């Protein structure tokens, strides 16, 4: 196949863009500085399409499509913002806030939280839905890190980074529905996990204060997930 055949042209928010055929709408949009909100997506990890914040309207499609997993197609007409989509996103964010105990003022990630940033950016000033106030455990058994399920959004970035990049597969998900929890090994305390290498990648990719390094809060708790694409490229280079 010639190089030209691999290029697709489409419009995103009425801007003409071109992208490789294997790129997603999200990648194409970000390359052209068109912002689509995301939470479970992280460059360097596989996509799960779970947070539903990147839903966009594609002309001719029956439903809204997640931009993170939808490949570009020739002549596609994508709308990333409309009153309807924006309203859905705000409500989805509210659902996130209301389902667990997201109280920014007392959170270690205050100021460094992707959920908080999204709320600010999408103009979600308050939560109309009743908070669920679930009673969830905090596991501080690991010498360096803590998991606080009250702040977890179940994006599974920790599960994916541990399996895909570190290769330890320490993290997993148990339970279903609102009872889902991320767990280490077979729900052993994190500090007693035999597979955890204490690499801390899960902490760096966690979008909220659910996973954090002990004795670091506020400005000192900045996370650095930007190492992932670099690691991935280096690993793939080694394999070739």
Partner 1 sequence: MNAEELQQLAAEARDERPQFDYEVNVCMGTGCLSQHSDRVKNALEKEAEISGRKCHVRRTGCMGLCAAGPMVLVEPAETRYGHVHEGDAQEIVASLGGDPVARLDPQLRGYFEGQKHVVLENSGHIDPEKIEEYIARDGYEALVKAVTEMSPGQVIEQIMKSGLRGRGGGGYPTGLKWDTVAKVKGAQKYVICNGDEGDPGAFMDRSVLESDPQRVIEGMAIAAYAIGAAKGYIYVRAEYPLAVQRLTVALQQARRRGLLGSGICETTFNFDIDIRLGAGAFVCGEETALIASIEGKRGTPRPRPPYPAVSGLWGAPTLINNVETFANVAPILRHGGEWFSSMGTARSKGTKVFALTGKIQRTGLVEVPMGMTLRQIIFGIGGGVPDGRKFKAVQTGGPSGGCLPEEHLDLSISYDALISAGSMMGSGGMIVMDDTSCMVSVARFFMEFCMTESCGKCVPCRAGTVQMYELLTRITKGVATHRDLDRLTDLCEVVGATSLCGLGQTAPNPVLSTLRYFRHEYLAHIDEKRCPAGVCEIGTGHPADSAEVTVAGEVHV
Q: Which residues lie near partner 1 (CB under 8 A)?
A: 47-52, 55, 63-64, 66, 69, 88, 91-92, 95-99, 102-104, 116, 119, 125-132, 153-154, 172-173, 175-180
Minimum gap (Å) between residue 47 Cβ and partner 1: 8
Minimum gap (Å) between residue 207 Cβ and partner 1: 13
Residue 72 to residue 11: CA distance in whole angstroms = 10
Given the DSSP bridges, would you call strands 77-79 and 7-12 parallel, antiparallel or unpaired?
Answer: parallel
C-beta of residue 29 within 8 angstroms of C-beta of residue 68: no
Minimum gap (Å) between residue 121 Cβ and partner 1: 13
Residue 184 to residue 201: CA distance in whole angstroms = 14
Which C-beta is closer to partner 1: that of 97 or that of 145? 97
Minimum gap (Å) between residue 234 Cβ and partner 1: 26
* Burial class (CB within 10 angstroms; exposed 0-12, middle 13-18, buried 19+) of 161: buried
Which C-beta is closer to partner 1: that of 132 or that of 215? 132
Which C-beta is closer to partner 1: that of 9 or that of 132? 132
DSSP summary character for residue 45: S
Direct distance between the N- and C-terminal alpha carbons of the chain, in angstroms, rounded to an integer:
22
Which C-beta is closer to partner 1: that of 110 or that of 141? 110
* Burial class (CB within 10 angstroms; exposed 0-12, middle 13-18, buried 19+) of 181: middle
Which C-beta is closer to partner 1: that of 102 or that of 201? 102
Minimum gap (Å) between residue 127 Cβ and partner 1: 5
């Amino acid at each position: 196949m010639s190089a030209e055949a691999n290029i697709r042209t489409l419009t995103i928010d009425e801007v003409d863009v071109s992208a490789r055929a294997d790129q997603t709408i999200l990648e194409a949009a970000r390359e052209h500085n068109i912002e689509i909100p995301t939470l479970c997506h992280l460059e360097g990890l596989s996509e799960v399409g779970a947070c539903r914040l990147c839903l966009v309207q594609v002309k001719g499609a029956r439903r809204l499509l997640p931009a993170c997993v939808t490949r570009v197609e020739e002549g596609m007409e994508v709308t990333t913002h409309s009153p309807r989509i924006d309203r859905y996103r705000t409500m989805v964010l509210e659902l996130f806030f209301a389902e667990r105990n997201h109280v920014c003022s007392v959170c270690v990630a205050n100021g460094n939280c992707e959920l908080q940033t999204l709320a600010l950016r999408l103009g979600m000033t308050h939560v109309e839905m009743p908070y669920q106030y679930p009673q969830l455990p905090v596991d501080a058994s690991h010498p360096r890190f803590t998991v606080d399920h009250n702040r977890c959004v179940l994006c599974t970035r920790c599960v994916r980074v541990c399996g895909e990049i570190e290769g330890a597969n320490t993290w997993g998900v148990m339970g279903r529905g609102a009872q889902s929890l991320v767990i280490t090994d077979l729900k052993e305390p994190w500090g007693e996990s035999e597979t955890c290498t204490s690499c801390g990648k899960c902490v760096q990719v966690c979008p909220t204060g659910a996973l954090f390094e002990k004795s670091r809060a506020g400005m000192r708790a900045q996370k650095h997930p930007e190492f992932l694409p670099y690691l991935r490229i280096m690993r793939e280079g080694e394999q070739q």
